[in-house]
Amino acid sequence: MSRLQKLYLGTNTKMYKTIADTREFLSRLAKLTGDIPEKELELFVIPSYTALETAVKTAKGSRIKIGAQNMGWEEAGPFTGEISPVMLNEVGVGLVMIGHSERRQFLRETDQDEERKVASALGNGFTVLLCIGETLEERHYGISREVFKTQLKIGLHSIAAGQVRTQHPVKKLRIAYEPVWAIGVNGVPSDEHYADENHRIIKETLCELFGDEAGSDIPVLYGGSVNPGNAGSLIRMPHIDGLFIGRSAWDADQFHQIIRSVMRSWKEER
Ligand code: PGA
């Protein structure tokens, strides 16, 4: 069972929900989760860019945090198609996801790109969810650990080296461990023991980077084909602090059921 004081649960709706879909999803989810105490759960939804403004308005007054799926690292400049931290701030977004495997895989983002984005997002006051995880090929060659440790060490390099001037940059950091082979319709969910062992190594690496106290306070969420059947066994593992869910969370009622059942398992273990 995670040693952190609260649970972390969230979803990224990828390139699926329109503005209208997002509004409907969030109003329903806000209504269903309104009674869950903030101190027990950090709940977030990461919709598409075009739905962000509506999402922030719809989630206002609820306990749902709204995040962006990506962010350009410069505040302004000749970067066609990018969205800057200033623009996200203006919309009222508090969270930014960096390095989702689909961006690394299909949009060719590198660990160095993620490093710049993490530094810029934290420097601009956002909470950051950095996604890491090995591909099937990397797992086949037995280099999973090397891969996600590298993603962490490069992605977090500027904050570990103290180049980001925020008072407590690490307090605003969350990690999502998402093995690429576990994600999406063709994904095979990781079994809870494999996921937990890798979470342990991730936590060890975070302690190496930030010291034992700060490092072990950083929430590490598991993602990749989380569903109503496996969510409970994943959350009972000692190094898994939360779940980052795709498809199974896109229906507000089903997401709500997962939230309640995961919270029950989490409380039973405490
Ligand atoms: P999935 O997506 O739960 O649909 O596998 C997870 C993710 O991409 O974060």
Ligand 1, atom 7: closest residue by C-alpha? 246
Low-confidence stretches of the chain (pLDDT < 70) are 1, 165-169
d(CA 121, CA 164): 10
Q: Are 169 and 206 contacting, i.e. CB atoms less than 8 angstroms apart?
A: no
> Which tens digits make up the pLDDT trace of 175-213?
999 999 999 999 999 999 999 999 999 999 999 999 998
- What confidence score (pLDDT) does residue 6 get? 95
Mutate to test the pocket of ligand 1, among 45, 226, 227 (most ligand atoms within 8 A of CB): 226
C-alpha 61, offset from chain centre:
22
Ligand 1, atom 3: closest residue by C-alpha? 246
223 lines ligand 1 (CB under 6 A): yes
d(CA 270, CA 53): 38
- What confidence score (pLDDT) does residue 162 get? 78
Strand (E) or helix (H) holding 212: helix 212-216
Radius of gyration of the chain (CA): 17
d(CA 7, CA 136): 28
- What confidence score (pLDDT) does residue 16 get? 97
> Which tens digits make up the pLDDT trace of 12-47?
999 999 999 999 999 999 999 999 999 999 999 999
Class of residue 153 by CB neighbours under 10 A (exposed 0-12, middle 13-18, buried 19+): middle
58 lines ligand 1 (CB under 6 A): no
User: What single DSSP character describes residue 192?
Assistant: H
Token pair in block for residue 84: 């800057």
Mean pLDDT, the chain, integer: 95
104 lines ligand 1 (CB under 6 A): no
